C-alpha cells in the first residue's frame, strides 16, 4: 500500500459542522469524523446571527484532536459551507461584526425593492440565479437601504468558507462555487455582476478576486501551524459551497443523471458544462451555480429536512423528546396522503413553531390538518418527495435529460423513508449515498489541488471505490400518481 496522504476537511452545515480527517492511499479515500458540533444561530437585538467565533472554537478543537492523533503530516486543509452568507472585514483586517444568518428578517421585501430599480428579469439574465430572499444580493441591499454603518467600515466581503481561509492564512479571496450562490456573479462575463452591484449602490470595493475550486490559496499562518502542527499544510479553495462539494462525490459513471444533495436543504439538479440562462429557467426559477472541474449545477432549491428539524426542535423544547428514528416510526404508522404542504412556501422559511405552521398551511388550503406527530412527519416526507417529482419534470423539460436515476447524497441519504418515498413519487430508481458526500467532495478537491486527481471522472471512481450505496426501486405507481395530482393544487408552480 502506498503511503497515506492526509487532509482535513471542515464541513460547515447550516445545522451542524464537522472536522473530518481524510486518508488517501491512491485508490480509496477513508474519512474519520474528528469533531462534530451544533451550529446554533444567536438572536441579539432582533437580529439573527451566526456564532462565527463559536464555530472557530469548535474547528480549532478539531484541529487540536487531529494533532493529538499524530496528525503533524497533514498535507492540506479545506473549508465548505452553506451559500449566500458572508463576513465583512475592515481595512485593518478585523471582522466588523458577526455574519447575519440568511433566515434573518432583514431581507423581507428586499427582492421587490431591487426589482423596482433594476428589473426582475434583468437580474436573472445577468446572474442566472434563482430568486430567494435569502440571496446575498438582497442581504447587502438591505444594508444599503438601512444605511448600515457596517458597510462604511467594510473593506472586503468574504463568503463564510473564505472567512475561515482568511483566519488561517491572512489571504482575502473568494471561491467560485460559493460566490455564484449570491446572485451577484455574472457567469457570462466570469466576474462579479458589477453593473448590477453599481446600480444598487452596493460598494464595489468590497468584492475580492475570485478563485477556482481546486486552487492552493496559501500556507497556514505561523501562529496556527505552531499551535496545531500543520507546518507543511496548504490551505485549498475546494468547491466551497457545500452542494458543489457534494456533487463532486456523486458516485455515477453516467453523464445523464439527476442528483439531490439532501440535508437542511434539498438541492436537486443536473450537471452542465455551461450555465442555462433562458426563458424556461427564468420561468421555473432555476439556478446556475458554479461547479467543480469547469462545470455548472443547474438546480432548484427545495426547503429540505429543515422543516423536520424545526418540528423536532419545537417538540424537544416542550419536553416531548423523540429521536428521528422514533419520529420516522410514528410516520410509518400514520395514514398516507392525508395532507400536503408546499415545502417552499414562505411560511416555512423562518424558525419557529413549525408544527403549528404546517397546521395553518393545511387549514388555509382547505385540508384536514395532521392530528399527531406521526401525521406531521409523514406529511413533510410525502410532500418533499412529491416536490422532487415536480422539480424532476421541470429538469426534463429544460434539458431533455432522461433522468433514469436519481442520486441522493448527503445526510438525507440515510433517511430510508425519504429515499423510499422519492423513488415512488418520481417512478425513478434512487441510489442513496454517500452520506458524507460533502466532506468527501471537499477532500477530493484538495487531492486535485495537490495533483493526485486529474478530473471529475477519476474523483467519482474513487467515490465508488470508497463508499457504499443503497438502491430504492419505484413501486405503488397508481397511488403516488393520484397523490401527485392532488399535491399540485397546493404548490406555487
Q: What is the pLDDT of residue 230?
A: 87
- Grouping H, G, I as helix, E, B as strand and the rest as coil, residue 351 is coil
pTM of the full structure: 0.93
Domains of the chain as residue ranges with CATH: 5-237 (3.30.420.40), 250-433+454-493 (3.30.420.40)
Q: Which triple of cell numbers denotes residue 446? A: 484538495
Q: Which triple of cell numbers denotes residue 333? A: 404508522
242 is catalytic: yes
CB of 405 within 8 A of CB of 253? no
Ramachandran class of 117: left when φ > 0, alpha when ψ lies in -120 to 50, beta otherwise:
alpha
Q: What is the pLDDT of residue 229?
A: 83
Q: Considering the chain, what is the average pLDDT of its residues?
A: 96
Nearest to 275 by CA among 144, 172, 180: 180
- Grouping H, G, I as helix, E, B as strand and the rest as coil, residue 470 is strand
H or E element in which residue 258 lies: strand 258-262
Measured between alpha carbons, how far is 382 from 420 in angstroms, rounded to an integer?
A: 10
- CA distance to 255, 341, 402, 403, 493, per residue, from 397 (Å): 17, 24, 10, 11, 14
Measured between alpha carbons, how far is 309 from 118 in angstroms, rounded to an integer?
A: 37
The catalytic position among 11, 242, 344, 375 is 242
CB of 79 within 8 A of CB of 17? no
Nearest to 176 by CA among 188, 187, 164, 165: 187
Nearest to 483 by CA among 352, 309, 339, 328: 339
Residues of the chain with pLDDT > 90, as a percent, come to 93
Measured between alpha carbons, how far is 422 from 72 in angstroms, rounded to an integer?
A: 44
Spell out, as residue ranges, where the chain has pLDDT lower than 50. Answer: 1-2
Measured between alpha carbons, how far is 271 from 104 in angstroms, rounded to an integer?
A: 31
Please, which residues bridge with residue 237 across strands? 215
Amino acid at each position: 500500500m502506498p503511503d497515506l496522504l492526509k487532509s482535513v476537511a471542515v464541513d460547515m452545515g447550516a445545522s451542524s459542522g464537522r472536522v473530518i480527517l481524510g486518508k488517501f492511499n491512491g485508490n480509496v479515500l477513508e474519512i474519520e469524523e474528528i469533531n462534530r458540533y451544533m451550529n446554533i444561530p444567536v438572536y441579539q437585538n432582533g437580529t439573527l446571527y451566526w456564532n462565527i467565533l463559536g464555530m472557530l472554537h469548535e474547528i480549532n478543537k478539531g484541529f487540536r484532536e487531529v494533532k493529538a492523533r499524530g496528525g503533524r503530516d497533514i498535507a492540506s486543509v479545506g473549508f465548505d459551507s452553506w451559500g449566500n452568507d458572508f463576513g465583512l472585514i475592515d481595512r485593518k483586517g478585523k471582522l466588523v461584526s458577526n455574519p447575519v444568518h440568511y433566515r434573518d428578517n432583514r431581507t423581507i421585501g428586499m427582492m421587490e425593492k431591487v426589482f423596482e430599480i433594476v428589473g426582475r428579469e434583468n437580474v436573472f439574465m445577468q446572474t442566472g440565479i434563482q430568486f430567494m430572499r435569502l440571496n446575498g444580493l438582497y442581504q447587502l441591499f438591505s444594508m444599503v437601504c438601512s444605511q448600515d454603518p457596517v458597510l462604511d467600515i467594510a473593506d472586503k466581503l468574504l463568503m463564510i468558507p473564505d472567512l475561515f481561509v482568511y483566519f488561517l492564512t491572512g489571504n482575502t479571496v473568494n471561491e467560485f462555487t460559493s460566490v455564484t450562490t449570491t446572485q451577484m456573479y455574472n457567469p457570462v462575463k466570469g466576474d462579479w455582476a458589477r453593473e448590477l452591484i453599481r446600480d444598487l449602490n452596493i460598494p464595489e470595493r468590497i468584492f475580492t478576486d475570485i478563485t477556482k475550486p481546486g486552487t492552493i490559496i496559501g500556507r497556514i499562518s505561523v501562529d496556527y501551524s505552531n499551535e496545531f502542527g500543520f507546518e507543511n499544510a496548504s490551505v485549498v479553495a475546494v468547491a466551497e459551497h457545500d452542494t458543489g462539494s457534494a456533487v463532486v462525490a456523486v458516485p455515477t459513471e453516467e453523464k445523464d443523471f439527476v442528483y439531490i444533495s439532501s440535508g437542511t436543504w434539498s438541492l436537486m439538479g443536473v450537471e452542465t458544462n455551461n450555465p442555462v440562462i433562458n426563458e424556461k429557467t427564468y420561468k421555473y426559477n432555476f439556478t446556475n451555480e458554479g461547479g467543480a472541474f469547469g462545470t455548472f449545477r443547474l438546480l432548484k432549491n427545495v426547503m429540505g429536512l429543515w422543516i423536520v428539524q424545526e418540528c423536532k426542535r419545537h417538540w424537544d423544547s416542550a419536553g416531548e423528546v423523540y429521536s428521528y428514528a422514533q419520529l420516522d416510526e410514528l410516520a410509518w404508522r400514520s395514514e398516507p396522503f392525508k395532507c400536503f404542504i408546499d415545502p417552499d412556501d414562505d411560511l416555512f422559511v423562518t424558525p419557529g413553531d413549525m408544527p403549528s405552521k404546517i397546521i395553518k398551511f393545511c387549514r388555509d388550503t382547505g385540508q384536514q390538518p395532521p392530528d399527531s406527530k406521526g401525521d406531521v412527519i409523514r406529511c413533510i416526507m410525502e410532500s418533499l418527495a412529491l416536490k422532487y417529482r415536480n422539480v424532476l419534470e421541470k429538469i426534463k423539460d429544460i434539458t431533455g435529460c432522461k433522468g433514469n436515476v436519481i442520486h441522493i447524497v448527503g445526510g438525507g441519504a440515510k433517511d430510508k423513508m425519504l429515499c423510499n418515498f422519492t423513488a415512488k413519487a418520481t417512478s425513478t430508481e434512487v441510489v442513496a449515498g454517500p452520506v458524507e458526500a460533502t466532506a468527501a467532495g471537499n477532500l477530493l478537491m484538495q487531492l486535485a489541488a495537490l495533483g493526485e486527481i486529474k478530473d471529475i471522472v477519476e474523483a467519482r471512481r474513487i467515490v465508488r471505490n470508497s463508499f457504499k450505496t443503497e438502491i430504492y426501486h419505484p413501486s405503488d405507481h397508481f397511488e403516488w400518481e393520484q397523490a401527485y395530482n392532488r399535491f399540485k393544487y397546493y404548490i406555487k408552480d
